[in-house]
Structure 1
């Protein structure tokens, strides 16, 4: 039986929902890295364990020094790429060292050092048939240290003397480390079995269209909680029907758990989280990627909206690249401003474009492959302002606003054929001509009712 939240203390409800939002954003929470948030989760552990299992089917474990929310049923929606402090993504080599370091550290119970750990990682790699040696050169050492810094950020490792960053700069520095074995064993939530390959492992974790109604409702709640917008047209038929039938019940359950509002529209459903929640990438933001993404969304919304009810509109590839070049290309005025400010890393033009497209794709605002991209109707929520710095690109899409109007009598399919693909101006002209004819008839005394000599009246 669901708890009636209206009868509970408002402060208590707010604390529980804030703790739930924190776990959604940081599934591994430790006392050392986030003491205030962990204390809040610990104090409401029983309620959180029961409610996460009931609403989302997620398993929550709360120990003395850490809490781990184990998510399931989704992959791309809940998995965020691991990054270095500079914002660059982990390379495959860094992921390899992270896995090897975990394999070694989960068996340790006492302090160690970076150089000792590197030797153990090298031995583990040799045993597994992997060519990896943290002491082989600067590139290998950087990848190894990035993996260790990630574990330190999670609270699974503690630097006791010196730092891993110092060892990265100078291999002679031997920083002391203290592993937390329980936290280390919670880093990897789902371990593959011996016979799994990557495809089968990922396939076992995803079921977008469960057969039973109960499992289908839980899958919908997960999708609503983990994605920015759930578009009805992108759901399988069964899930689309379930969303239409149970969307308000799902909204109530997620509202009680996360303290969020739900916006339900014809094209889809979105959860609106309080400002401090950060389960998804923050957008809009002031960094170069967020700034460029916002400018791109506003420009495309103003330039490409077809002027009729729709859930998405095709984005011409030339229009997209022209806008990205204007907003973040090598000659874009904004790049000089970003270079002068003391802010985050300024990516190169190509990498900036890739990060912008990745961000908008993750938010569901720009979907599809190159040449087949679609701009979601949700993008218009951020504004629709055509930027004059982006040149117009002519294409053959009848619903596009990228066509320059042809001058009358230019021989391009009739007057204003390109500027008026649906013939709206022709219909308006017909109405105006009819009104003009009526005025002429009224002033000449001809009512238009009498038949003329050519009307068969003899």
Structure 2
């Protein structure tokens, strides 16, 4: 029996729409050229449906033109520090506070500048802007005379190149860092103009502390009716379900938990229909699991020494009673090196490397919602239970099955 053409076309349309949505969730800024050109064309073809879905369910605006598609994502948790910007080439090093300040100063200078700029000229403008008394009072200053400062600026430029804000015309960043040369860039002004994902301009924010300033940047219009308040909750919860590895019930307000309890099936079904994510609902929370495993910037388990160490420490933390200090984890890594070191890289077996291995493992576990940092140490979160190893029970042939000792994930 042949399938009607209409059903085939509907199925193809749904599959293409899903691919486009997943592309935007993985790369909220897609360029018409380069690595994601095919995904951009798919998003542009389905822009109307995607724009309506994201606006209704998340409050994220989608802007699509001939050069780029920009999904203006607002994170569900504004103060989450576990997914920093990273250097595009040098070991994916997380951005420091100074690099974030440099990024903001560079964007401001590019916005005021011409359509082409040399790296040295950009550095000079940043030095001038950094002389602002408000920055010096905060302990921020740049002279671009030290190599570490030039390395920080080069990392910022590499990020802007990866985002498509800059396009290299000549030269290399390494030449500028070493003082042996310069680099020249075209400035893609339309992409630069769409980079900021806020609901209001930063210059209009009046709050004093960082948390309040972040909240003011993205706050919605006055919620003066039940309908608007419910819409805001629906959007906030959908953002978290899409972005966060796990949404724990104990992290929600009473109103959010009540709404999620009533609307859980509706919210997860709409996400699943568009993205293909599958809801895993347990006693402590909800995780939208990706069967294709490509909608994440942090994976576990992962190949290599760091991935193996992280998996072994996850097992250790899952079995622990209460917080475990970083020193105790470092001691555990030294013990594990004696057992598994033959499978690890040579550098990981060197004395003193356990501290770095622990830090990378803990960063990965916290980014995935599997553990949290406290003043007492590292605490396992419920989702980490899937990595706990239960007791091995040897049964006689023909005996009844024994219930599994493996703990349940949330």
Tell me the CA shift for residue 223 of structure 1.
1.5
- Is the aligned partner of 1:159 residue 2:168? yes
- Aligned residues of 1:134 and 1:144 also touching (Cα < 8 A): no
TM-score normalised by L of structure 1: 0.71
- Aligned residues of 1:299 and 1:384 also touching (Cα < 8 A): no
Mapped partners of 2:64, 2:132: distance in 1: 34
- Aligned residues of 1:94 and 1:147 also touching (Cα < 8 A): yes
Mapped partners of 1:57, 1:70: distance in 2: 9
Structure 2 equivalent of residue 62 of structure 1: 64
Listed one character per residue, the Cα deviations across residues 100-158 of structure 1 (whole Å, up to 9, x for unaligned) are 11111113342222222222222333356656445412122111111111101111111
Mapped partners of 1:97, 1:150: distance in 2: 12
Using a 3 Å threshold, how does the CA distance of structure 1 residues 31 and 206 change in structure 2: closer, same or farther?
closer
Please state whether the residue corresponding to 1:173 is helix, strand or coil.
coil
Please state whether the residue corresponding to 1:201 is helix, strand or coil.
helix
Using a 3 Å threshold, how does the CA distance of structure 1 residues 266 and 132 change in structure 2: closer, same or farther?
closer
Listed one character per residue, the Cα deviations across residues 299-340 of structure 1 (whole Å, up to 9, x for unaligned) are 333x34xxxxxxxxx52426x754443336795565664434
Please show how residues 42-53 of structure 1 align to structure 2 within 5 Å: 42-53=44-55
Comparing 320-329 with 213-222, greater Cα deviation is found at 320-329
- Is the aligned partner of 1:362 residue 2:364? no
Using a 3 Å threshold, how does the CA distance of structure 1 residues 140 and 77 change in structure 2: closer, same or farther?
closer
Structure 1 equivalent of residue 202 of structure 2: 192
Structure 2 equivalent of residue 138 of structure 1: 147
Structure 2 equivalent of residue 176 of structure 1: 184
Give the one of 237, 256, 263 matched to 1:246.
Answer: 263
Using a 3 Å threshold, how does the CA distance of structure 1 residues 40 and 330 change in structure 2: closer, same or farther?
same
- Is the aligned partner of 1:204 residue 2:216? yes
Mapped partners of 2:116, 2:154: distance in 1: 17
Structure 1 equivalent of residue 307 of structure 2: 290
Greater radius of gyration (CA): 1
- Is the aligned partner of 1:224 residue 2:241? yes
Using a 3 Å threshold, how does the CA distance of structure 1 residues 380 and 76 change in structure 2: closer, same or farther?
same
Using a 3 Å threshold, how does the CA distance of structure 1 residues 138 and 386 change in structure 2: closer, same or farther?
farther
Q: Which runs of 5+ in 1 are unaligned?
A: 1-5, 305-313, 388-458
Structure 2 equivalent of residue 74 of structure 1: 77
Using a 3 Å threshold, how does the CA distance of structure 1 residues 127 and 379 change in structure 2: closer, same or farther?
closer
- Aligned residues of 2:324 and 2:379 also touching (Cα < 8 A): no
Tell me the CA shift for residue 369 of structure 1.
0.7
Mapped partners of 2:81, 2:96: distance in 1: 20
Mapped partners of 1:10, 1:249: distance in 2: 22
Mapped partners of 1:107, 1:383: distance in 2: 54
Using a 3 Å threshold, how does the CA distance of structure 1 residues 30 and 333 change in structure 2: closer, same or farther?
farther
- Is the aligned partner of 1:352 residue 2:357? yes
- Aligned residues of 1:77 and 1:226 also touching (Cα < 8 A): no
Mapped partners of 1:238, 1:187: distance in 2: 33
- Is the aligned partner of 1:125 residue 2:130? yes
Using a 3 Å threshold, how does the CA distance of structure 1 residues 123 and 235 change in structure 2: closer, same or farther?
closer
Alignment RMSD: 3.2
Q: Which runs of 5+ in 2 are unaligned?
A: 1-6, 393-410
Structure 2 equivalent of residue 150 of structure 1: 159
Mapped partners of 2:41, 2:189: distance in 1: 20
Structure 1 equivalent of residue 333 of structure 2: 327
Tell me the CA shift for residue 284 of structure 1.
1.5
